[in-house]
Amino acid sequence: MERTITIFGSSIPKPGEEQYEFAYQLGARLAEEGYNICTGGYA
């Protein structure tokens, strides 16, 4: 069974800022664990 997680975020944080880096690392870890990541706009 595929594992999919949806992440709702913002375009405000920029690379190097704490929120951006946290979200980036979270996404990388989830991908490493085999999750599909949906970030918005899917039909």
- pLDDT digits over 1-43, tens only? 889 998 888 889 999 999 999 999 999 999 999 999 887 765 5
List the one residue out of 26, 21, 28, 23 whose CA is nearest residue 9.
23
pTM over 0.75: no
Domain ranges in the chain are 4-38
CB-based contacts of 5, cutoff 8 Å, min separation 6? 30, 35, 36, 37, 38
Give the SS3 label for residue 1: coil
